[in-house]
Structure formats: structure tokens, C-alpha cells
Chain A
Amino acid sequence: MNRYIVLRVISGLIIPIILIFAFYIQFHGEYSPGGGFQAGIVFAAAFVVYTLLYGLEAAQRAIPPKAAHVLSAAGVLLFAAFGFAGMLLDGNFLEYKVLLPNDQAAETFGIIGIELGVGLTVAGVALTLFYSFAGRRHDR
């Protein structure tokens, strides 16, 4: 990859920006378009760009496939945990109002929590899919 110095330099500039944009979509989703789903995809896209430039091995050193699998499961579990937390506090499944004394704060807290769960799942799943497809050749 040493041949493409322009791509290298540009990617060094652009990948951090993509990652920060992913976090922005994630945590600003309550005020502007976006949310966990979009953020997860954009986060994974940064690693796709990295892979195209530096190879799959380098990308998997940064986030191993195992970690991506754990991430996808952890997101769903976090989401479900918020649901069951409501039940434990004498509410319905996924009822956020019982989580905190202030209703609005509780709703916002619940939304941020489950959006984080969605974001983790989607980022993990997108990476898992990409690794599975791109790494298929190496398995043979």
C-alpha cells in the first residue's frame, strides 16, 4: 500500500472524521436526524475504508471479528436490559418512566440507552457481515 501515498494521507484525515461523525449521529440523534442505526453503519464504514486501504488483516487487528460478534450481541442485550429494568421497577416492558423520578429525564435516559444498544448491535453486525464476506477468500 506504500504506492498510494495520496490515499494514505487522505484516509488518515478522513477516517477519524467518519468515526467522530458516527458518534455525533449516535449521541445527537435526539436533536437532529440520526440515531443508533445510522451511527452503527457509519462507524462500520470507517473500518471498511480502512480495510480497503490497509488490508483485512490490519482491520482485524484493530477490531477482531470476535469483538464484533460480542458487540452485536451486547447491543441487543443492552436494549432488552432496559426493557426488563422497567419491568423490575413495576412498570411495563420498555416503559422508561419508572427508571428515574422525573418523567422527561427518564424517557430521555431510556431513549439514549436503547439507541446505544441499537448502535452497538448495528456496528457489530455491519462489521461481522463485512468480515465474513471479505475474509471468505482467506478461509479457503
Chain B
Amino acid sequence: MAPGAGRCVIEALIDIVLLTFLAIIAVAIVRIRNLLAVTMLTGIYSLIVAVLFVLMDAVDVALTEAAVGAGLMVILMLATIALTTREERPHRMRHNLLALVVVVITGAALIYATLDMPRFGDPEAPAHVHLSPRFTQDSPQEIGIPNMVTSVLASYRGIDTLGEAVVVFAAAVGVLLVLGSGTVRRRKSGESADKDDKDASP
């Protein structure tokens, strides 16, 4: 019993430290005006969220979060900053009492709603008594592969995944229509190489 309890305490400590980091980074993102720094912080935020997912044994989600949130999204934001501006324009802050009231009420309502949710990891939670046993018990025989996340995504919920693929494709089409393909025209040697490097690394 003792080693398990110790592990729980350490996990709780790690969770608290990581969640504190998230809160600090979120505040910093709101306050900092330098967009390059904000982009870096969002990347770090994603990485910490990915670590939290790993702690919750959601490794597939963690892998996606690390690759997309900390990798690709940061690069796209850097490219956008290279196209626009590095510094957020300072705007005068006017304190809006009504907005504060709305935010506080909404936040309180959300927190109140979480009180009804099942505790984290509760085996009696509705999600764990209805569909989960069906998938965890039958999918190894039915599908024949050990990673149940893949079985659910690719087989049981195949049409959802097809929809996702189409959405991703549609996003690319939208960006292509708005921004163009970004094809670099070949230039004569001499002036090309060095200038490209500067432009491409934002």
C-alpha cells in the first residue's frame, strides 16, 4: 500500500506544479506585448499540457498536443509575425465593470457545474460503465490490434475520422485561397541563397 500512496502524492505534487506553471504562463501571455515572446510561451504552454496528458495516461493526445501545439502552431504563428508585426499595439485599458461581472458569473457557473462531474478516475463514472467496457473487452478480438485508441478512431468511429481528414483538407484549401501557395520562384544564382535564408527564418 505504501509505495502506491507515495506515488499518488508525487503525482499530485507534479500536477500542482504543472498547473501552477500553466496559470503563470497564461497570465504572462495576457500581459506581455512582445508577440515573439507570447508565441514562445504558447509553445511552452502546449508542452506542459502535453505532459499533463501523459500523466493522465492519454499518450495519444499528448503526442498530438506536442506535435501540433508546440511544434506546427508555433511555426505558423512565427511566420504570421514575420508577415505582420512583432509588437502588439498598446491600447488604453479601460476598466469595464459590466464585463467583470459577466466573467465572474460565468466562471462561477462553470465551477458550479464541475461539482456535478464524476471525480477524476472514478470507475463508476457514466463514461466508464457504458461504452468503455464494450471497447476495452471486445476490441482486441474484434479488431485484432492492441491500441484501442486506434481501433476506436479508425474503425468504430471511422466516419468521424474521415470527417476530420476532410476538415483538415478544407483548412488547407482555405489558406491556399487566401494566402496563395507560397511557391518561391527560382532566381538566378548569386542573389538568391542568402536573402532566402533571412526571409525564411522569422
Contact = CB atoms under 8 A, between A and B. Distances in A.
B175 interface: yes
A136 B143 contact: no
Interface in A63-91: 64-66, 69, 72-73, 75-76, 79-80, 83
Contact of A134 (B149, B165, B182): B182
Describe B's contact surface by its main secondary structure: helix
B14 interface: no
Contacts of B83: 133, 136-137
Contacts of B201: 52
Contacts of A110: 154-155, 158
Contact of B169 (A72, A103, A105, A111): A72
A30 B64 contact: no
B147 A31 contact: yes
Describe A's contact surface by its main secondary structure: helix
Interface residues of A, number: 66
Interface string A48-70: 10011011111010001110010
Contact of A42 (B60, B62, B67, B186): B67
B185 interface: yes
21 contacts: A30-B146, A33-B60, A34-B60, A35-B153, A48-B71, A48-B72, A48-B75, A55-B199, A57-B196, A79-B162, A94-B159, A103-B142, A107-B155, A108-B144, A111-B145, A122-B168, A132-B179, A133-B175, A134-B79, A135-B184, A138-B184
Interface of B: 59-60, 62-64, 67-68, 71-72, 75-76, 79-80, 82-83, 141-147, 149-151, 153-155, 158-159, 161-162, 164-166, 168-169, 171-172, 175-176, 179-187, 192-193, 196-197, 199-202
